[in-house]
Structure 1
Amino acid sequence: MFRRTFWFTSGVAAGVWATTKVNRKLKQLTPENLAVTAANKAIEAGHRLKDRAVGFALDVRDNMVQREAELGDALGLNAPVADRALPPPRRYAAIENRTGPEHVEGPAHQKNPYNRNEDH
């Protein structure tokens, strides 16, 4: 008799367990639940992508700062201010010369309307 009771109880327990599992799976497969699950997974994927993009941007910025420092050292831009010499003063190429032959008035020297300094 115990044997029959044992198997009957085991069958009932297996039936309850199987019914519970099937009902849970059916609730997960409803359209509303599928939409919520898809939205949650999309949000999680967006957060992961954002974290990777931020990490990539920080890596790029760090490498950019390092490369700028290397170029500054190679070009001498990072030297202390006291060691730098001032550049020589600029000389202007287009200074008027009032004593040249183009400024002498008379029939032999007529003014040319073309000014070569305006073309550059």
Structure 2
Amino acid sequence: MAKRTFWFMTGTAAGLGSSLWVQRRVKLVVERYVPEKVQERTADAARRVGPTVRDAVSEGRDAMRSREAEMHADVAERVGSPPADRRRVG
């Protein structure tokens, strides 16, 4: 009878412990997806990514202007007229 009582108590303790652990984990997951928390995480991510995106756009524009100047120079060389930057007035 002592063996049965021991294993019954052990099973009950394991079941109770695991259900409390699962309950705590579920609460944590639910709290992560509350609209306020999602909004905070999204705003934090946007703040972190913002400067990187600005730098990438700036670098892309610089590369575009550089390539455009090269293309204007190539066209001017083929046609025999001065480059577009020299012809501009004002």
TM-score, normalised with respect to structure 1: 0.44
| Mapped pair 1:11 → 2:26 | no
Report the Cα offset of residue 66 of structure 1.
Answer: 1.7
Report the Cα offset of residue 36 of structure 1.
Answer: 1.4
Greater fraction helix? 2
Partner of residue 40, structure 1: 44
Unaligned runs of 5+ residues in structure 1 are 79-120
Partner of residue 70, structure 1: 74
Give percent identity, aligned residues only.
15
Unaligned runs of 5+ residues in structure 2 are 84-90
TM-score, normalised with respect to structure 2: 0.53
**Structure 2 Cα separation of the partners of residues 51 and 7 of structure 1:** 59
Rg (Cα) greater in structure:
1
Partner of residue 25, structure 1: 29
CA-based RMSD:
3.2
Structure with bigger RCO (C-alpha 8 Å, 6+ apart): 2
Aligned length: 78
Report the Cα offset of residue 70 of structure 1.
Answer: 0.7
Q: Helix, strand or coil for the counterpart of 1:60?
A: helix
